[in-house]
């Protein structure tokens, strides 16, 4: 009798634990579903903001980069604009299409992240990273850091993570390469995704062809670099022709005063310009934000140890970009987003530290990253200036544009 009672107790405890785990899983799943829908809803004012800019002839940073084309010869960042030109020659229609396509890319990125997140077992670290302001809510807290060409790089990376193993045939995997080619020939910023793509293909090698796939991504990258140097002498002339064409087609009067003007800088001029903008305050500010961005990963020591070489290599790869371009917040956003996606996709998560739950409201509400400039003072202000308040203020600023 005593043995039967003990067996019943054990079975009852086991069943109770299973029910608790199932309840936790269901709660987590429901939260994630609602969270992603919530994030898409929060993007709607951002989409409207970009539409307003484009309805007034385009923005000299957010729109100009996208409408560069090969109409007057090869030029870096020109592929996406050339594709737009194939769709229409009407400037107003082109800007409307641009608004729709880029909004669609944001939704696609959010959906692909959702698929990756829900296809693998996640933990409290994953949840903390999901709500991090260095991840998918980054553009919502800095509208001027949004609609940049890393959208294409993120899309390419996520398509590879989602479909590389599902596409067994080479001809299907070729479409993934096409997505990467479009991204790098539209902007060199998308080279930042290359190490994560190569490492992913290497780690998921399931046939001898993986070396060919890696070679394809590396060789197309080298081809872009060669074309960049071979055509560097004609850059100024081509940009002037592009600017005249844009102004004659009734784009905004200052359409050439942002990214297009910056493209005229020679390599040494660009580095000099960036170095002149670096201050101790900026270094300290972004260093603090880097620590906050990396903090959740520390809770999974096993993952850190297993991926230490990957993390070190990617850090070394990213470092030069901080000396040749000024948008340090964007580089952190790209790097940590790639690292977060890596963690979501990681199959062997060990730690599930429930004490990380306190980081979730801190991450979601109290700090954010500016795409261009940070110092200690602005970091402190961001902690005091809650994110939902900042977001509401950005929406109020949009209403003044109408």
How many angstroms separate the first and last alpha carbons of the chain? 79
Here the tokens at position 265 are 């800088």
The pLDDT of residue 351: 62
Name 39's Cβ contacts closer than 8 Å, sequence gap at least 6: 110, 136, 137, 140
Q: Are 385 and 393 a contacting pair, CB within 8 Å? A: no
The pLDDT of residue 4: 45
Here the tokens at position 279 are 């201050």
Name 399's Cβ contacts closer than 8 Å, sequence gap at least 6: none
Stated as kind and residue range, the H or E segment containing 268 is: helix 267-277
Closest to 75 in 3D by CA, of 217, 240, 247, 244? 240
Residues in the chain: 402
Q: What is the largest CA-CA distance in the chain?
A: 94
The pLDDT of residue 6: 56
Residue 1: strand, helix, or coil: coil
The pLDDT of residue 1: 52
The pLDDT of residue 237: 94
Rounded distance between C-alpha atoms, residue 81 and residue 183, angstroms: 12
Q: Domains of the chain: which residue ranges? A: 49-401
Rounded distance between C-alpha atoms, residue 216 and residue 184, angstroms: 13
Here the tokens at position 148 are 């940049």
Q: Are 184 and 191 a contacting pair, CB within 8 Å? A: yes
Q: What is the CA radius of gyration of the chain?
A: 23
Q: Give mean pLDDT in consecutive 10-residue pieces for the chain, a chain of 402 residues.
A: 50 43 64 96 97 96 97 94 96 97 98 96 92 97 96 98 88 93 97 96 84 95 93 92 95 95 90 91 94 93 92 96 93 98 90 74 92 89 89 93 80
Q: Record the pTM.
A: 0.92
């Amino acid at each position: 009798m005593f043995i039967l009672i003990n067996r019943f107790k054990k079975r009852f405890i086991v069943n109770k634990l299973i029910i608790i785990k199932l309840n936790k899983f269901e709660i987590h799943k429901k939260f994630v579903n609602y969270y992603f829908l919530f994030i898409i809803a929060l993007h709607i004012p951002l989409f409207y903001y970009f539409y307003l800019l484009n309805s007034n002839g385009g923005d000299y940073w957010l729109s100009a980069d996208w409408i560069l084309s090969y109409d007057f010869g090869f030029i870096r960042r020109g592929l996406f604009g050339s594709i737009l030109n194939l769709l229409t020659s009407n400037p107003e229609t082109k800007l409307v299409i641009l608004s729709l396509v880029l909004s669609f890319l944001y939704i696609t990125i959010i959906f692909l992240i959702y698929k990756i997140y829900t296809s693998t077992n996640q933990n409290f670290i994953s949840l903390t990273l999901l709500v991090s302001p260095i991840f998918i809510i980054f553009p919502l807290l800095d509208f001027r850091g949004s609609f940049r060409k890393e959208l294409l790089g993120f899309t390419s990376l996520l398509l590879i993570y989602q479909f590389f193993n599902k596409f067994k045939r080479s001809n299907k995997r070729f479409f993934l390469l096409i997505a990467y080619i479009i991204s790098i020939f539209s902007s060199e910023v998308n080279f930042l995704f290359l190490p994560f793509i190569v490492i992913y293909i290497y780690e998921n090698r399931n046939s001898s062809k993986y070396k060919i796939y890696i070679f394809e991504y590396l060789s197309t990258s080298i081809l872009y670099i060669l074309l960049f140097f071979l055509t560097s002498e004609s850059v100024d002339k081509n940009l002037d022709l592009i600017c005249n064409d844009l102004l004659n087609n009734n784009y905004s009067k200052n359409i050439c005063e942002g990214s297009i003007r910056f493209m005229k800088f020679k390599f040494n001029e660009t580095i000099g310009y960036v170095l002149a903008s670096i201050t101790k305050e900026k270094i300290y500010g972004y260093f603090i934000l880097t620590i906050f961005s990396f903090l959740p990963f520390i809770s999974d020591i096993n993952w850190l140890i297993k991926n230490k070489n990957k993390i070190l290599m990617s850090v070394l790869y990213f470092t030069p970009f901080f000396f040749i371009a000024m948008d340090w917040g964007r580089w952190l956003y790209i790097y940590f987003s790639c690292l977060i996606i890596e963690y979501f996709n990681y199959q062997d998560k060990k730690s599930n530290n429930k004490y990380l739950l306190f980081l979730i409201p801190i991450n979601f509400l109290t700090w954010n990253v500016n795409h261009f400039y940070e110092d200690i003072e602005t970091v402190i202000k961001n902690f005091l200036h809650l994110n939902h308040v900042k977001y509401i203020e950005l929406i109020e600023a949009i209403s003044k544009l109408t």
